Structure 1
Amino acid sequence: MLEILERSAIAAGRAILDIYDAGPAVTYKLDSSPVTDADHRAERIILADLAAAFPDIPVIAEEAAAAGHVPDITGKPFFLVDPLDGTKEFVGRNSHFTVNIGLIEKGVPVAGVVYAPALGMLYSARAGKAKKAMVEHDRIASPWTIIGCRSCGDRLVALTSRWHNSAETVAYLAEHGITDYEAVGSSLKFCLLAEGLADIYPRFSRTMEWDTAAGDAILRAAGGETLTMEGTPLTYGKRNQPNDSDFANPWFVSRGKV
């Protein structure tokens, strides 16, 4: 399965880079978030690949869901797809944008692929093993390296959202005495935790499940965790929420080994 997801993410990344080089056409959704022709083209590639390889596994994809196309996932494994995570990074010509494909079973992210095409970095995980490789000319160009979270020491290094930071995040960092932090876009924050390059990622602003599933799968396979403010693992497939829309996440904290 992972090889298929990896190839699909790389193919979607190629389409994204072609538009990145030419200059994207940007429109805006009802929530004022940007969407580009790269989002749509990459999603079409991934949906076609998943339908061909896994016709019985439903897919929740960001742009399709925005258009009202949400298949029944009750009691089933399903994919969560964000074809271009970090659209603001992409539009702003910052390299921190990713392609995300995650597999959910019983509410848990059990496999995931995150590809950062402008950086040539591919992350992949399943069955408790997370790995990383470099991509050149749309092919894996380096041996896979097993990655893992580092143990948190007394001095924590945090990652924050570049575009969606909040006063609550600033307060959390101050409360925990964290002064060393870096703003990073997209799901790369999960991957940097999984690599052992940082310790904690508090997120006190809105995310959707397709934003987090693939990166969260990689983090968990690398020995980390993502917890809600109640201290329980973040779950996926959230429908009919009384105080929020389908597939919206609550605030959470992702971290490496404790």
Structure 2
Amino acid sequence: MNIKIHDIINIAVKAGDAIMEIYKKDFSVVYKNDNSPLTEADKKSNDIICSRLKETYPEIPIISEENKEVPYDTRKSWEYYWLIDPLDGTKEFIKKNGEFSVNIALIKKNRPIISVIYAPALNLLYYAEEGNGAFKIDDKGQKYKLPLYDNKSENLIKVVSSKSHSNVETERFIDNLRNHYKNVELLSKGSSLKICLVAEGIADIYPRLGQTMEWDIAAGDIIASEAGKKLYKYEDGKIEDRFTYNKENLVNSWFVVKDKDLTIYY
């Protein structure tokens, strides 16, 4: 299948432009059944991404956070599909701290093979293609291959965690790291930008010991992988093999994103 990464980048940027139009003015917030927030920007971005993907690649089905009710019996046989989060980090959008993103991933046989993460308020874009590496385009339009930094240290570990979703389990995980590393530096970020910090090499590890959905992480998963990092399941206190997608239940298990060579002590 001939997918052009620049098509996906252009769609993400178009959606980001629409998000920013709403971001710059007053907007209303409603709450879904799971008590998660929804704004006009979520819906507008979703409409743009879905319509553009259908126009450009009409043969590929779509699962999105905002139109996720595709029966498993229908989707379980899909070889390819788009998995998108039109506005990842809605809470950060509402807080107006800029740390939200547009996430688009192409899944093949239950694994992401192409993705784009675009943070329109920060004018940062990340993308990856399986076998071709992961890249960052900064706010000056400069393109860099990931990772950008390799600052491994036996005495220091940099941990990035959620700005809006911290919990007791994550704190315990970080406390355990303190037992094995002389210095633990904590970073905080919203949305999939946490995974991007690990992919860049700014952070060493991102533990997410709480509920997420498949569309929250698929785009970041392939970016991390192509940068030499990995997204692992974290179950029963143990790190296990990487995720698969298009499960019957689209809720993720807990996970950890880290450098493949980084040792985690249990």
Structure 1 unmatched runs, 5+: 136-140, 240-245
Aligned to 1:202: 207
Give the Cα separation in 1 of the matches to 2:150 and 2:65. Answer: 32
In the alignment, which of 186, 195, 218 is matched to residue 213 of structure 1? 218
CA contact (8 A) 1:152 1:256 kept: no
Whole-angstrom CA distance in 2 between matches of 1:27 and 1:175:
38
Bigger mean CA offset, 74-83 vs 6-15: 74-83
Q: Distance in 1 between matches of 2:111 and 2:233?
A: 14
Between the aligned partners of 1:254 and 1:144, the Cα distance in structure 2 is 23
| 1:35 counterpart residue number | 38
Contact 2:124/2:137 (<8 A) preserved? yes
CA RMSD of aligned residues (A): 1.5
Change (3 A) 1:73 1:16: farther
Q: Deviations over 1:171-205 (max 9, x none)?
A: 01111226311121100011111111110000001
Give the superposition deviation at 1:69. 4.6
For residues 22 and 224 of structure 1, the distance between their equivalents in structure 2, rounded to whole angstroms, comes to 38
Partner of residue 141, structure 2? 142
CA contact (8 A) 2:118 2:124 kept: yes
Deviation of the 1:134 alpha carbon? 3.0
The answer on 1:180 being equivalent to 2:189 is no
Contact 1:206–1:251 under 8 Å retained in 2:
yes
Cα offset for 1:228?
0.6
CA contact (8 A) 2:63 2:81 kept: yes
Give, in angstroms, the shift of residue 8 of structure 1: 0.4
Structure 2 spans left out of the alignment, 5+ residues: 262-266
Shift of 1:247: 0.9
Is the Cα–Cα contact under 8 Å of residues 89 and 99 in structure 2 kept in the other structure? yes
Q: Give the equivalent residue in structure 1 for 2:242.
A: 233
Q: Structure 1-normalised TM-score?
A: 0.90
Secondary structure of 2:240's counterpart equals coil
Shift of 1:119: 0.2
Contact 1:109–1:214, Cα closer than 8 Å, also in 2:
yes
- Secondary structure of 2:75's counterpart equals coil
| Number of residue pairs matched by the alignment | 245
Matched residue, 2:24: 21
Give the letter aligned to residue 236 of structure 1: Y
Counterpart secondary structure, 2:116: strand
Question: 1:156 is matched with which residue?
Answer: 157
- 2-structure distance, mates of 1:216, 1:182: 19
Q: Give the whole-Å Cα distance in 2 for the aligned partners of 1:132 and 1:76.
A: 28
> What is the Cα deviation at residue 73 of structure 1?
4.6
CA distance in 2, matches of 1:224, 1:24: 37
Matches within 5 A, 1:65-214: 65=68, 68-69=69-70, 72-128=75-131, 129-134=133-138, 142-148=141-147, 150=150, 152-154=152-154, 155-177=156-178, 179-214=184-219
Residues 131-165 of structure 1 deviation map (CA, whole Å, 9 limit, x = unaligned): 11135xxxxx5242111273643221011011111
Q: What secondary structure is seen at the aligned counterpart in 2 of 1:22?
A: coil
Deviation string, structure 1 residues 79-122 (Cα, Å, up to 9, x no partner): 11000000000001111000000111122121110000000001
The answer to whether the 8 Å contact 2:75/2:246 transfers is no
Q: Which amino acid is 1:150 matched to?
A: D
